[in-house]
Structure 1
């Protein structure tokens, strides 16, 4: 989707400074013109560190046959429990809906929801592309939903300034993308709770791939960039309510054999894009990440070996649902329920 930099016909003007020239290049993904919405499902289990989840992963991999993209990853909760997930994408929301209602997925879900060995959850969202944006530090990167893109736009000028993320979302030209209503409990039955997201819940999946780094660049990432990134993700995980973040998983990607890959990402749910923007622009944990990157990346230019990317989406209400069985109160969308309950009446 090509973007017009003109301020004409925009209700909300671009925040891009006049004559802006980004200090480092970036590219955006372009999808087939027939793709208007992408469905994403985060299917996971929450378990103790010593529990074996190989069976869960194998069953999910088999059940996920038919998804356009399947990524596996793991993370740690503040209480020491683990989350191991598959992130599934479909370029056709109808295919996703059929899969969610299929006997194959139903059998998988029933088996693990009823087993009682660990908590399980499913977070299923539909992302209109007019409400989404992607960004990559190099033209060859193809992470997340962009593993199924057809081409690239760029280098783009709408990045590396505060507000660039919003400027890259097409709908932001005429929509303030403000929150509408609370996250709502749809059904609660014993250890199972189903919830539905409110209007304009903001999701960010932001990743790092250091597979190709070597020498000094590898040391700089592992010893200088990653520690401040980890600190920022831990803040959002443990204290996210302070900045409107319902939950944050700092995840290590897994390869085809379910071993750790040299890729990671943060998957966070914010009340609104404005909350995400405020954390990014003003909070010391994100400013430390941003400033460390600016300290290192520009000196390499196109020779930067570290691959960075993200996808940000602001969801419409409806068909944004999640279900949790035996999960901690702050897991995923449940963090929004907890945050709302703590707010003054």
Structure 2
């Protein structure tokens, strides 16, 4: 399956720069040569300090730049322990570290993502969307994005458990931009895959959010929003009609002249999908004066855009 330009289905949370204390801790690990068995044993400790540092150790193994030992950790039997940690409302730091570790396990192959799903983590991640701690919410969003990105089965399973409403509730003026980028990326994964396309009710729920996000000044959010629309318009005439009925087309067409090539590319894909629909659907795009954008597009320095 074509992964569509630079669009990531799954993302691993790797910190940009390890803080000083972290590198000290890493040195300690190497000194003690902390084994998976030790991590496993300490992750079930009754002492919260020992338990947290064990789960953190697992998370750090999974966040290392090089090949993270995902399969070794799964084989060690740590998944049920990490999932249990997600329930610990009394210890948000533990919830956060466990959610981060599970996010990175779910960022791997389909089999690795499935292992997280089989461990019954998804209902707990959905619960964490209501956590009062923003870092916990955000990590739960990221984990769910990786699971939804695995394909239509996982997507529809997470939708059936009720992900859409709490996810969209994060779209408000006070949300930090990095968090909103993650939310928007998850929305893209919800719109992706057309065999089968997402449920009609889900598309209806998501479209008003995309109509809001298309005004966003952040380029990452705008690009993702337009890609989401291009996936939805790729799902047949019925979905094209829903996109048209949302009223977003007059805002989509002018993006054909956006100064960012990434936005133009996505907008071309979406507009191109709409004009494959019925004559009436094509007319909606023509009514937005779409043809006036084409002389510039045809002389565009980027070959991909001329095509």
Q: TM-score, normalised by structure 2?
A: 0.27
Point out the structure with the larger strand share.
1
Larger RCO, structure (CA 8 Å, separation 6 or more) = 1
Greater CA radius of gyration, 1 or 2?
Answer: 2
